[in-house]
């Protein structure tokens, strides 16, 4: 079987890297095509996954439309050469549109309900769209729900073992509290209209949390001079180890909030749209605490972070909750393999 996987974001590399290893070991041919945004190519090289480059993409609505035309053409040419039997990707339009044109099946994964533009440009062309069972909306007859999270395709214990060496890299003692803070760029297509946390409240959050723990910032944007000393300085592939041993994840990234949850680390997530999976991780497991971007909620989020950091027993408590989460949910990679093999 020949499978073309298209990558549009660094997280997508993680979603499909274990699937790639399993399928190649079974004798199937897999071609990765990747946008060059942030660290996708570095991750693919790290995991020794060969790939074809499809460019850096564009910002803004007009730029993204121009890139849509370019990406479709690029994928079409690569597909004509590779001759895939099936296209696989996380929700974005290019592979499904090209697959439809070539008369090939297209399997799409998604967990982002408010990516309405991508829904309109992808779902009509896809063969099936797979989402966590907690997905807030119904995508119609092509929609297949599974009991799990995308982050369990790479952070399930079948694939991930935390490495304590990260504590030496961070220069924190075993048992010493520290927080990972994540600020995003808000440049994705589904982020138009979002502003995120104000700089004033970012400063307040860092200052207040620093009284109770060490603070490390991961940011897609440049940081002001006074916050730059807090920037986390670790190898780019060690962030999940850092999250596992941290006391709290605080910020604007749904993916990192969910990563923390499946690793048994409580997280604060701020976003006006929210996600079905972070809602479930709060209501069912009390591992994520969801807030909007309003001034009132930003203040409440800071207060909740301080409350969690003041709980000296939270590590043991959340480890037991994580065990229940893992019991309740599937290995997402194994689900992918089973679904793709239906087309072999």
pLDDT tens per residue, range 18-38: 999 999 999 999 999 999 877
Q: Assign residue 51 a region: left if phi > 0, alpha if psi is -120 to 50, beta otherwise?
A: beta
* Domain co-membership, 59 together with 199: no
Mapping DSSP onto H, E and C, the string for 289-319 reads EEECCCHHHHHHHHHHHHHHHCCCCHHHHHH
* Domain co-membership, 281 together with 190: yes
Mean pLDDT, to the nearest integer, of 296-317? 90
* Domain co-membership, 304 together with 337: no
Mean pLDDT, to the nearest integer, of 314-336? 93
Q: How confident is the prediction for the chain on average, in pLDDT?
A: 93
12 domain residue, yes or no: yes
* Domain co-membership, 310 together with 298: yes
pTM exceeding 0.85? yes
Q: What is the CATH number of the domain that holds 52?
A: 3.40.50.2000
Mean pLDDT, to the nearest integer, of 295-312? 94
pLDDT tens per residue, range 53-110: 998 877 777 888 888 899 999 999 999 999 999 999 999 999 999 999 999 999 999 9
Q: What is the model's pLDDT at position 220? A: 79
324: helix, strand or coil:
helix
Residue with tokens 């035309």: 69
Q: What is the model's pLDDT at position 185? A: 67
Q: Domain limits at 100?
A: 2-148+330-341
Q: How many domains does the chain have?
A: 2
Mean pLDDT, to the nearest integer, of 110-121? 93
Q: What is the model's pLDDT at position 187? A: 47
57 domain residue, yes or no: yes
48 domain residue, yes or no: yes
Which stretch of 68-72, 230-234, 255-259, 333-337 has the lowest confidence by average pLDDT? 68-72
Q: What is the model's pLDDT at position 329? A: 98
Which is higher by pLDDT, 187 or 116? 116
- pLDDT surpassing 70 at residue 218: yes
* Domain co-membership, 59 together with 133: yes
**Cα–Cα distance, 302 to 186 (Å, whole number):** 20
Q: Please give the torsion angle defined by the CA atoms of residues 340, 330, 13 and 139, in that order, rounded to the nearest 10 degrees.
A: 70
Percent of the chain with pLDDT over 70: 96
């Amino acid at each position: 079987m020949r499978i073309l996987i298209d990558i549009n974001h660094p997280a997508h590399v993680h979603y499909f890297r274990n699937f790639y290893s399993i399928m190649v070991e079974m004798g199937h041919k897999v071609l990765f095509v990747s946008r060059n945004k942030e660290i996708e190519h570095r991750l693919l090289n790290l995991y020794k996954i060969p790939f074809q480059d499809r460019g850096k993409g564009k910002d803004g609505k007009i730029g993204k439309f121009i890139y849509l035309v370019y990406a479709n053409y690029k994928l079409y040419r690569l597909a004509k050469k590779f001759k895939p039997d099936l296209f696989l990707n996380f929700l974005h339009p290019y592979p499904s549109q090209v697959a439809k044109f070539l008369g090939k099946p297209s399997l799409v994964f998604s967990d982002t309900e408010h990516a309405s533009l991508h829904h309109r440009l992808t779902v009509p062309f896809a063969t099936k769209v797979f989402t966590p069972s907690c997905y807030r909306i119904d995508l119609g007859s092509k929609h297949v729900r599974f009991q799990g999270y995308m982050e369990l395709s790479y952070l399930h214990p079948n694939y991930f073992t935390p490495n304590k060496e990260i504590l030496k890299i961070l220069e924190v003692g075993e048992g010493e509290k520290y927080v990972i803070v994540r600020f995003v760029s808000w440049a994705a297509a589904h982020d138009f209209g979002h502003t995120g946390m104000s700089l004033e409240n970012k400063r307040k959050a860092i200052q207040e949390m620093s009284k109770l723990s060490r603070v490390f910032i991961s940011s897609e944007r440049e940081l002001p001079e006074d916050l730059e000393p807090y920037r986390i300085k670790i190898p780019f592939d060690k962030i999940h180890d850092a999250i596992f041993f941290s006391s709290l994840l605080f910020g604007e990234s749904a993916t990192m909030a969910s990563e923390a949850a499946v690793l048994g680390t409580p997280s604060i997530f701020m976003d006006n749209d929210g996600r079905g999976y972070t809602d479930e991780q709060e209501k069912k497991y009390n591992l994520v605490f969801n807030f909007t971007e309003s001034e009132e909620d930003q203040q409440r989020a800071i207060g909740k972070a301080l409350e969690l950091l003041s709980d000296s027993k939270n590590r043991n408590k959340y480890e037991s909750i994580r065990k229940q989460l893992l019991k309740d949910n599937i290995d997402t990679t194994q689900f992918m393999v089973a679904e793709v093999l239906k087309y072999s």
